[in-house]
Amino acid sequence: MFKGSIPAVITPFIDDKVDYDSLYKVLTYLIDNGSNGLVPCGTTGESPTLSHEEHKKIIEETIKITDNRIPVIAGTGSNNTLEAIEYTNHAETLGADAALIVTPYYNKPTQSGLYEHFKTIAEKTNIPIIIYNIPGRSIVDMTIETMIELSKVKNIIGVKDATNDLFRPLLTRKKMQNNFCYLSGEDGTALAYLAQGGHGCISVTANVAPKLCSEMHLAWREKNISKAQEINLKLSLLHNALFIESSPGPVKYAASLLGLCNEDIRLPLSRIKDDTKKLVKSCLQELQLL
């Protein structure tokens, strides 16, 4: 079972190429500050703009650098089922602990199409699969009923829920009979998601405040509710600032202020505005991260 604070890792660039030296710094920082897992090549890692070769190498380097210290959940999703199978098989071969697979964007499949997409991928691999449901970016929303049917597939073991619907985990858990892993995909409601039965959060904020994020989850698991609430309140302004503009623009700028990498981001996303930079910097200063 995956749990706790799991950063959705940014992909550092320099001169529009993947900066593997900075990737090492980022991963080391996240591991050393108590992260409970890592997700390379997710949306925060700008996976839509990575080449096939870059995508595979980033996962390979992440697994190598992590060296079994914490789990690696490889982002292997695509709106092309065959491509998702290729990425997932590759991640399994490298020794990833699980694969995070997003609902197919742009195509707008029906619930039947979603079911067949995930089932087909799962049948081509033995690696544990986590469904990534994020209707805000992919347009389609997997229903509870479809997720319940997919949970019957032996290696589909959990969900990253980025719907921000805090009633959904309760409804899903009520109807779900097996041991399913519930991970939030929304930093601002991550603690509330834990209260609804969640196990952790695949986080953007944890890229730059990994210690605070991991401490919040640990406090919750230890039933120190007041401490978890205190940390959550401290992080609230940073959570908000990191989504003032399209992610991962703000979090990459924050990482650049921490000396982890530069703020380069690939088109069609662009560097954030000066006003956003001021806000992000002030939030880091308030948390004494700068």
Mean pLDDT value across the chain: 96
Q: Which of 160, 182, 193, 253 is catalytic?
A: 160
Domains of the chain listed by start with CATH number:
4-223 (3.20.20.70)
245: left (phi over 0), alpha (psi -120 to 50) or beta: beta
Q: pLDDT tens across 197-240, in order?
A: 999 999 999 999 999 999 999 999 999 999 999 999 999 999 99
Catalytic site residue 132?
Answer: yes
**Cβ–Cβ < 8 Å for 50, 88:** no
pLDDT at 21 over 90: yes
User: How far is 37 from 146, CA to CA, in rounded Å?
Assistant: 27
pTM score over 0.85: yes
Q: Is the pLDDT of residue 1 over 90?
A: no
Mark whether 57 is an active-site residue.
no
**pLDDT value, residue 150:** 97
DSSP annotation of 104: P
**DSSP letter assigned to residue 204:** S
**What pairs with residue 13 in β-bridges?**
18
pLDDT in tens, 275-287: 999 999 999 999 9
What pLDDT digit, counting tens, does each position of 52-72 carry? 999 999 999 999 999 999 999
Concatenating the DSSP letter of every residue in 9-74 gives ----EETTEE-HHHHHHHHHHHHHTT-S-BBTTSTTTTGGGS-HHHHHHHHHHHHHHHTTSS-BEE
